[in-house]
C-alpha cells in the first residue's frame, strides 16, 4: 500500500481508504459479523484511514464500525466522521447548528468507542445555508479542535464550487481537507480542475466513490441512482466492453481513481472482506491506459455529466 500526507494535516493516509457507508446497509443488507471482518481485512492490508458518518444507515454504520474498533489498537487507524446530515426512521434530517454539531461529535465518539476523532467533516454542505456553515458549524468544530477532541476539520460535497466558496470565506487553516465524490472516476474527472486551488490553500483532497455509486460496475446501476439515462447507458456499454476484454470495469475504475498522486486518498466501501481484499489487489496491478482511453471514448459526450445530490 502506498501512502501520502493529507494536505498539511500531518495525517499519513493510504492511497486507498476504507469507506464505512456499506456497514450501514446503504447498498444492501449486511451481516454485522461479516462487516466487522471487512474492517479487520482493510486495516490488516494497509487501509488505515476509515471514513464514516452518523447518516450512513442512520447511525448503524458508526455502531457496527465501533464494535470493530474495540478490537483494534487506537494508534493502528485514523478515523473520520461527519456532522450535519442525519436520519431517523427512514427519514433524512439536516441540522448544521452549533448545538447539534457539538452534540453529534460526542454521540459519534460514543458509538465509535473512541475519545477523539482524527478528522471531522461537515457533511454535504449543499443541503445547508452556506453562511451557517461559515459562521456556525465550522467555528464550532474549530473550537473542538482547539480543545483536542478532534484533530482536523474538513468539508464534503458533491458540488466542487460549494467547497471553494466556503474555503474562500473562512480564515486560513479552518478547512484542512475536502471530500468530494463521483468527480474523479472513469466517467468524470472534474476534480482535477480544482487540484491547483486546493494545493495552493494547503488543503488535502479525499476522493470518494470510484465506481460512481454503481455506474461503473458489472452489476449495473441501482434503481435509485440519480444519473441521467444517457449516462447510465454509456457506462453500461463501457462495462460490457471491459468484460469482453477480460478486464472488469470495477478493476479499471478503482485503478484509475487512485492513479493521481495529487489526490491524498480514495475511499472505497464494502462490507464484504473478500471484496475488500480483491480491490486492494486490483490497485497493486498496473493499469491499462489504452483501455482507459477506450472506455472514455465509449462514454463519449457523457463525460463529466453529473447530477443533483439526493
pLDDT in tens, 34-55: 999 999 999 999 999 999 999 9
Whether pLDDT at 29 is above 90:
no
pLDDT in tens, 74-121: 999 999 999 999 998 889 999 999 999 999 999 999 999 999 999 999
C-alpha 100: how far from chain center: 22
Per-residue confidence band for 132, with pLDDT thresholds at 50, 70 and 90? very high
Q: How many CA atoms lie within 13 A of 46 on its CB side?
A: 16
- What pLDDT shows up at residue 221? 87
- What pLDDT shows up at residue 90? 82
pTM score above 0.75:
yes
- What pLDDT shows up at residue 28? 67
Classify 12 as helix, strand or coil.
strand
- What pLDDT shows up at residue 30? 83
Whether pLDDT at 27 is above 70:
no
Whether pLDDT at 167 is above 70:
yes
pLDDT in tens, 202-261: 999 999 999 999 999 999 888 889 999 999 999 999 999 999 999 999 999 999 999 999
Of 3, 5, 56, 247, catalytic: 56
Classify 49 as helix, strand or coil.
strand
Catalytic residue check, 56: yes
Of 164, 92, 166, 103, nearest in space to 129 by CA: 166
Q: How many residues does the chain have?
A: 310
Neighbours of 290 (CB within 10 A): 9
- What pLDDT shows up at residue 26? 65
Strand partners, 177: 154, 204
Q: What is the chain's alpha carbon radius of gyration, rounded to the nearest angstrom?
A: 18
Integer Cα distance of 160 and 167 in angstroms: 11
Whether pLDDT at 197 is above 70:
yes
Q: Which grid coordinates belong to 65?
A: 464500525
- Give, as one character, the DSSP assignment of residue 193: G
Cα–Cα distances (Å) from 309 to 36, 157, 225, in that order, read 29, 9, 10
Whether pLDDT at 146 is above 80:
yes
Whether pLDDT at 165 is above 70:
yes
- What pLDDT shows up at residue 224? 87
- What pLDDT shows up at residue 89? 86
Q: What is the mean pLDDT of residues 15-33?
A: 88
Per-residue confidence band for 298, with pLDDT thresholds at 50, 70 and 90? very high
Q: Percentage of residues in the chain with pLDDT exceeding 70?
A: 99
Amino acid at each position: 500500500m502506498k501512502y501520502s500526507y493529507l494536505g498539511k494535516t500531518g495525517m499519513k493516509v493510504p492511497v486507498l481508504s476504507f469507506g464505512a457507508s456499506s456497514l450501514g446497509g446503504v447498498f444492501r443488507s449486511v451481516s454485522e459479523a461479516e462487516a466487522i471482518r471487512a474492517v479487520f481485512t482493510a486495516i490488516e492490508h494497509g487501509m488505515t484511514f476509515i471514513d464514516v458518518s452518523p447518516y450512513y444507515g442512520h447511525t448503524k454504520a458508526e455502531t457496527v464500525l465501533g464494535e470493530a474498533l474495540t478490537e483494534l489498537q487506537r494508534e493502528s487507524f485514523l478515523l473520520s466522521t461527519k456532522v450535519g446530515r442525519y436520519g431517523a426512521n427512514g427519514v433524512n434530517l439536516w441540522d448544521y447548528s452549533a448545538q447539534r454539531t457539538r452534540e453529534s461529535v460526542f454521540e459519534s465518539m460514543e458509538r465509535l468507542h473512541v475519545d477523539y476523532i482524527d478528522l471531522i467533516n461537515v457533511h454535504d454542505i449543499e443541503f445547508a445555508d452556506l453562511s451557517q456553515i461559515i459562521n456556525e458549524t465550522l467555528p464550532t468544530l474549530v473550537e473542538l479542535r482547539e480543545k483536542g477532541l478532534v484533530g482536523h476539520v474538513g468539508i464534503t460535497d458533491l458540488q466542487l464550487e460549494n467547497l471553494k466558496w466556503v474555503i474562500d470565506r473562512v480564515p486560513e487553516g479552518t478547512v484542512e481537507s475536502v471530500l468530494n465524490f463521483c468527480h474523479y472516476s472513469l466517467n468524470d474527472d472534474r476534480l482535477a480542475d480544482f487540484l491547483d486551488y486546493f494545493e495552493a490553500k494547503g488543503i488535502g483532497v479525499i476522493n470518494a466513490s470510484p465506481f460512481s455509486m454503481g455506474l461503473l460496475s458489472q452489476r449495473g446501476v441501482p434503481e435509485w441512482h440519480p444519473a441521467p439515462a444517457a449516462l447510465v447507458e454509456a457506462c453500461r456499454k463501457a462495462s460490457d466492453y471491459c468484460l469482453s476484454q477480460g478486464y472488469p470495469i470495477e478493476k479499471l475504475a478503482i485503478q484509475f481513481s487512485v492513479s493521481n498522486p495529487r489526490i491524498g486518498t480514495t475511499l472505497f466501501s464494502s462490507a464484504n472482506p473478500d471484496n475488500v481484499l480483491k480491490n486492494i489487489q486490483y490497485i497493486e496491478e498496473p493499469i491499462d491506459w489504452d483501455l482507459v482511453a477506450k472506455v472514455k471514448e465509449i462514454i463519449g459526450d457523457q463525460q463529466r455529466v453529473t447530477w443533483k445530490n439526493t
